Structure 1
Amino acid sequence: MPRGGPMRRLWALLAALVLCWPGVSAASSGPRPAAASVAGDATRPPLLAYYYQWFNAGSWQRAKTDLPLAGPYSSDDTQVIDRQITEAKSAGIDGFIVGWKQGAVNDRRLRKLVDAAEARNFKVAMIYQSLDFHRRPLPVAQVAADFRYFRDQFAASPALLRVAGRPLTVWSGTWSYTHDDVARVTSAVRGELRVLATEKNVDGYRRIADVTDGDAYYWSSADPETTPGYADKLQEMARAVHADHKIWIAPCAPGFDAQLVGGTKPVPRRDGATLSAEYTAALRSSPDAVGLISWNEFSENTHVEPSHDHGDRYLQVLRDLRGVQATVTSRSDPGGSGDVPGRSVAGSGPSRAYWAFAGLVAPMLLITPFAVRRLRASRRSGPAPVEEREAGPGQEVSRSPGSTSPRCSRPDRAP
């Protein structure tokens, strides 16, 4: 054997461990997989979070028990919008269903959101808020004019979530309008838009099924542990909508507490168990999309946006439910992209895999000189016993023809 052969073999083994050790090879494997496309599939339909753009500095002083980690933001702040989209995408959310009605402020904010979504390959649907602050229905003529305005001003954007080529919209409050009222509104725009109702039961859906394109049930106050027939009701509604070959958006929420705005019975969050149960029930109804209630409804405490009370706990729960690996936002990113592929939520320090690897290699480096001396001494004293020279089960290392270096299979390379 050439001089120094044992040392070369030991260093070659260490090199192989470096290449094969989990977390070390992954560092060079490129960006992590992106979330599934909004087209979805049977096991992972699109996740759309209800999103509200009503906020200014004074909004956070009314009916709030929790506040965003980002502070008392304005819905006009484009940096806030960029951050929200980045955080949502990192948790497996495919798009926002944004609350809107026509007006100078709402139009401006919706335009900013649509532009940001377009730049970031994110999707936007619109939910029309047809009830006023006191829950009274707006005039039918106003609703009809607002839908036409949305079609003319926003529907051309590629950021709009489309079903068979038509942007998806939802009409909140359809239960407050007659069949003929609904028909008057939808007849003018259904050729260019999909308009979903928000009915609360099968009879309500069937009442206006012929003049709408499906149903998005906004049910945030149900407790999956104590509300009788919760999951069964979702499945009944899904069967009715799908029997007409129309669109069903099933709801899920992390919890609910609207006591400061007139609610009486909160639904506890249970550290993510409520959201997990409701998401599972939504999936069992075979939805065309899951409607997450909500991204930032802080008055009813259904928010998953990072907050003082919950941190980013509910983004972590969503990642687990959606099978998405996390990224973090770079606060120093001058371009505001915020996407940092391959970095864990824990931060930018050494990973667990790194320290585990170091714990394995350090002792080997310490014992290497002694092992080499022992091997050289054994060569001088004759061949070692067979049981010391043959690898046992699970210890075999394959080699390439003519190579002296161990070879391992890396997940980011073809064999």
Structure 2
Amino acid sequence: MKKYITLLFFGIMNVLIAAGCSSSDDNSPENPTEPETFEPVAIEKTNTTKIYMHYMPWFETNESAADKKWGYHWTMANKNPNTTDANGRREIASHYYPLIGPYHSGDKNVIENHLLLMKYAGIDGILIDWYGTFDVNDYRMVKENTEQLIAVLDKVGLEYAIVYEDRVLQNVVNAGKAISVTSAAKTDLAYMQNNYFNDANYIKINGKPLLMNFGPIVLQTPAEWTNVFNSITTKPTFLTLWDQSFEAGDNASGEYAWVYKNSTYLTNFYTNTKPKLAVAMGSAYPGFNDFYAQGGGGDAIGWTIAHNNGATLDETLSLAKNANLSYLQLITWNDFGEGTMFEPTIEFGYSYVEKVKAFAGVKSTENAFPEISKLYNLRIQKKGNAEAQQKLNQAFNYFASMQPAKAKQLLSEIK
């Protein structure tokens, strides 16, 4: 009997080993090689308005670029990020400086940082500024960065939609990549339909995928838009910029507000335009201060909106609240060239994401923003350290599943 039991024991052990099992628990805290995974958990908040963040995926560093040069959106025409000041800050084409420094938009660590900050601020999803599918100028890089972003969105539990820049279409034709602006647009729309619209976390409004357009700028007639939309099987909920939906005609489902000169334009949109629209998306912003003239990137826009130590954001969020919006777009996460950033900066710290958190009515009073930045900093400091990176993966999983206390504890243990 004893011999039989011994043989049986070794037989079971061999089966377990063959199945890739072991007597230790790979998910245990003592063995961090396989982090415990969780489904993302939505943050609890009281404001029912859907809050979306306009996002620029267009930044490139000298490490990420094929030509080893910093991208235009950090340099414009005359800035050199390889030059640093006494504080170690790089010279960039902006009046403001990101808290994590200038970055590559396709960097997974950067994306992780941005999306977790947004999640804990009560933001529901992001609206991605998108330049299409053609390999012209930096459009291919923007598309690749977009898809790196989308890959992490699902892990964090945020939605997304595309803001299509039809302004690029003539450049595509001029580069010989398409025979007409409408054929180029059809190629882009087919790509969106095949790769984005059916995603579970793609934003749907009235049961259809949301598609926004920054304009229209090139396709300026209803007939052109009808021609383009007839080429796909899923017609989206299509929003143009405020006061531009007439250019799309019946193809437009509504409009969205933007940032311009002062808040009277928002008041007019909410009072006079919103009641006429089937779908209306408001806007809120912290300020506007472009760097184009100083950066040699063209003429200055010609007007600024002072940040006023957060008072401008307070005002635009208050207008949004009083307008009883179903949808609100925050402008923008990271357009550093125009100075509209919600992303934490040296100048404003976390104050803007804190204000969004209050507006969203986030129930959690825990301040996770500095710890999310700590996660990013440790990612950089522990580059090449596989054990530390696995622990950081576990911390990320805790943050995404709304277990910030566990994430903080784990981060404190990494030296």
TM > 0.5 between the two?
A: yes
Structure 1 residues 133 and 294: alpha-carbon distance in aligned structure 2, compared to 1, 3 A threshold: farther
What is the correspondence of 1:213-224 to structure 2 with a 5 Å cutoff? 213-217=253-257, 219-224=258-263
Are positions 1:52 and 2:51 aligned together?
A: no
What's the CA shift string for 1:130-181, capped at 9, x where partnerless?
A: 1149999992221222111111122222221112432211011215411211
Counterpart of 2:127 (choices 78, 97, 105) is: 97
Deviates more, 1:172-181 or 1:313-322: 172-181
Partner of 2:283: 251
Partner of 1:155: 197
Counterpart of 1:294 (choices 325, 332, 347) is: 332
In the alignment, the residues of structure 2 paired with residue 179 and residue 337 of structure 1 have an alpha-carbon distance, to the nearest angstrom, of: 49
SS of 2:325 mapped into structure 1: coil
Larger Cα-atom Rg: 1
| 8 Å CA contact 1:231, 1:282 repeated in 2 | no
In the alignment, the residues of structure 1 paired with residue 266 and residue 239 of structure 2 have an alpha-carbon distance, to the nearest angstrom, of: 21
In the alignment, structure 2 segments of 5+ residues that lack a partner are: 1-40, 62-69, 77-92, 135-139, 174-179, 293-297, 379-390
| 8 Å CA contact 1:169, 1:195 repeated in 2 | yes
SS of 2:161 mapped into structure 1: strand
Kindly provide the amino acid, as one letter, of the partner of residue 152 in structure 2. Answer: A
Counterpart of 1:211 (choices 228, 251, 254) is: 251
Partner of 1:265: 303
SS of 1:320 mapped into structure 2: helix
In the alignment, the residues of structure 2 paired with residue 337 and residue 96 of structure 1 have an alpha-carbon distance, to the nearest angstrom, of: 23
Counterpart of 1:118 (choices 151, 154, 161) is: 154
In the alignment, the residues of structure 2 paired with residue 136 and residue 273 of structure 1 have an alpha-carbon distance, to the nearest angstrom, of: 41
| 8 Å CA contact 1:187, 1:211 repeated in 2 | no
In the alignment, the residues of structure 2 paired with residue 135 and residue 250 of structure 1 have an alpha-carbon distance, to the nearest angstrom, of: 30
Counterpart of 2:145 (choices 109, 131, 139) is: 109
Give the superposition deviation at 1:96: 0.6
What is the correspondence of 1:186-335 to structure 2 with a 5 Å cutoff? 186-189=229-232, 191-198=234-241, 200-201=242-243, 204-206=244-246, 208-217=248-257, 219-224=258-263, 227=264, 230-241=266-277, 246-260=278-292, 262-324=300-362, 325=365, 326-327=367-368, 328-329=371-372, 330-331=374-375, 333-335=391-393
In the alignment, the residues of structure 1 paired with residue 101 and residue 272 of structure 2 have an alpha-carbon distance, to the nearest angstrom, of: 41
SS of 2:392 mapped into structure 1: coil
Give the superposition deviation at 1:342: 4.6
Give the superposition deviation at 1:294: 0.5
Give the superposition deviation at 1:315: 1.0
Identity of aligned residues (%): 20
Counterpart of 1:127 (choices 163, 171, 193) is: 163
Give the superposition deviation at 1:311: 1.5
| 8 Å CA contact 1:50, 1:294 repeated in 2 | yes
SS of 2:404 mapped into structure 1: coil
SS of 2:393 mapped into structure 1: coil
Kindly provide the amino acid, as one letter, of the partner of residue 171 in structure 1. Answer: N
- Between the two proteins, the alignment pairs up a number of residues equal to 300
Partner of 1:14: none
Counterpart of 1:61 (choices 50, 72, 75) is: 75
Structure 1 residues 173 and 232: alpha-carbon distance in aligned structure 2, compared to 1, 3 A threshold: closer
In the alignment, the residues of structure 1 paired with residue 334 and residue 283 of structure 2 have an alpha-carbon distance, to the nearest angstrom, of: 15
Give the superposition deviation at 1:211: 1.2
Are positions 1:140 and 2:182 aligned together?
A: yes
| 8 Å CA contact 2:170, 2:181 repeated in 1 | no
Partner of 1:353: none
In the alignment, structure 1 segments of 5+ residues that lack a partner are: 1-32, 350-415
Partner of 1:399: none
In the alignment, the residues of structure 2 paired with residue 268 and residue 135 of structure 1 have an alpha-carbon distance, to the nearest angstrom, of: 34
Structure 1 residues 135 and 223: alpha-carbon distance in aligned structure 2, compared to 1, 3 A threshold: farther
Are positions 1:341 and 2:404 aligned together?
A: yes
In the alignment, the residues of structure 1 paired with residue 196 and residue 125 of structure 2 have an alpha-carbon distance, to the nearest angstrom, of: 16
In the alignment, the residues of structure 2 paired with residue 250 and residue 258 of structure 1 have an alpha-carbon distance, to the nearest angstrom, of: 22
Deviates more, 1:327-336 or 1:141-150: 327-336
In the alignment, the residues of structure 2 paired with residue 108 and residue 209 of structure 1 have an alpha-carbon distance, to the nearest angstrom, of: 32
Are positions 1:79 and 2:109 aligned together?
A: yes
Kindly provide the amino acid, as one letter, of the partner of residue 404 in structure 2. Answer: P
